[in-house]
Structure 1
Amino acid sequence: MMKQIIKKTNSRTISKLKYLFIVAAIISYISCEDNILPEAGSIPDLTPPEAGFVATQGAGPNDEWKTYTFANLSTGATMYSWSFGDGNTSTTFEPLNTFPGEGTFTVTLIASDNLGVESTYTEVIEVVQPIATVIPDPVLVNADFNKLPKSSGSDCSCSGWINKSLGDQGESSSGNGGSDNVVKFDNNEPDHVYQEFEVTPNADYTITVVSSFKDPLNGTYPSMLEIRVLAGSGYVSNYAPTYYTNTVDFPQDGYGYTTISQVEDPTNNLLTPIMPISNPSDTSYLTNTFTFNAGNNTSVAFFMRGIGGDSSVGNFGYTSGDEEIRVDSVTITAN
């Protein structure tokens, strides 16, 4: 009887050991699988980040060439780490960086997502100072209003400056220490000067005018000097400008701008606002400056006249006022 009990006990013991072994094996298997399976609730990273950027050099008259703009082309990322190769770093999405000067710099962008996956893009930037573009000054003929021959009629300080479709020609006069060296806009007359010249598109220019007014008469019509810069797009239809070098070659009528309404059309004016020079109550020759941008024009026209008078007088719809105006020179320079 004792032997049977022992056998039964041994049988149960063996079964129990088998059960424990199987359980241990399962636990071990699960433990190993935990080491290689994703965390509970995780999903595959179907859109891993991919880094990329484009660098654009700045432009301007000073040191803007040292500053680059970085357009971020990365996809699938939420965080960005930049290194510009000059000691500067950034975590901005699209940063600016100002390099110390000319040289070669390795720019690196590390783009990462919320799962910690990273992508790296590197580009070598050659920073070189651009060669400055020299914009030539416009060429004006008889800019000092000397008394010179013209295509027809007597010599005049207005030679090279006549467009009889727009008014009467300015007259020769003396002033500012010389003889026959200024152009005069006589009182109560529609006197003007007009000349076309080449410009560089989108360039900025400064106009310098040296002029003098007679003493104010305190009348009904005080004189003012008006200056306009007219776009080549407003020239008479199918007109191709010619830039003459001698005053005798200039036409006197029927070219460029042919009506005052074209001149006064705001869309044709590059010098805005139009701010006439008023009588300064000083008969000295004074300097006034104006600036304009050439826009998309390769040719423009300079137009100057006396205004302020009785506009019903004459055939042009304007006249100068009660005081005579004299202009000694016009200078136009590229900025």
Structure 2
Amino acid sequence: MDWRGEIETAASRIAGHVRVTPVLEVDIPGIGPVELKLEHLQHTGSFKARGAFNRLIKGPVPPAGVVAASGGNHGAAVAFAARKLGHQARIFVPEIAGPAKIALIRAQGAELEIVPGAVSGAFAAADDHAERTGAMQVHPFDAPETLAGQGTLMREWEAQGLKADTVFIAVGGGGLVGGAMGWLGRQRKLVAVEPMLAPTLYAALQAGRPMRVAPSGIAANALGAPLIGQLCFDLATATGVTSVLVDDTAILAAQRLLWDSLRQWVEPGGATALAALLSGAYVPAKGEKLAVLLCGANPAPPPYG
């Protein structure tokens, strides 16, 4: 597939529907200069709006509307895009989505169903709803339109003057890092960062194929996909992406640093990429130019009240 062409088309399609998010250059003690892409300032607090708008605008959307399964952020983005474009949406989330993300989805006007257990139950419920009603599925990561929509982020970042040799991106199901790989190929080094308790891409690369995992930990409601998407896996094997794991303690330390030093309040999943540098899971070479994507801003509880 011509991923760059798909991403260019997606960028034209969603222009005016998503924000161009800012870039911040900072000096992090013990690491040095780092470029941050503040994608947590995107609509509904994550990059997911890009893929959602790309899928819905491409359509066609049937009278039954759209349906999505999500740990929270994807559901909020689909609900937001559906409301803006005049479609009804039904979102299925697991109990671990948490009150902040559940409230955010409800605020977008979608029908919401909270499914007991892990995110795999939400996927099953969404599949059943689509089959019964004819609603259009909006997959959170393993669909070409989703991946191309997320790839517009890396296209945008390069247009903003990205200087880094190496870019760090958190991974759940792989739509975001897959889109980045689709845009960049081997032009820059990509480091896929995952929680030790939700190692979808890492497990797949070790096994040579996507493998089901049992995600848990503090970032599971953002990075807790049951397995890596096939599209992402194929791109990862073709581009030779580097995969590293970080523990929950490192993720919390990264989240805390972003607030204490920069007043950027992100959820644990949004801080996971930075944790690779802070924890030493990835040790950069001397002079290596670094960039980190901050991808989600919906922690539980929210930073007020």
Smaller-chain TM-score range?
Answer: under 0.3
- TM, length-normalised to structure 1: 0.23
- TM, length-normalised to structure 2: 0.25
Greater gyration radius: 1
Larger helix percent: 2
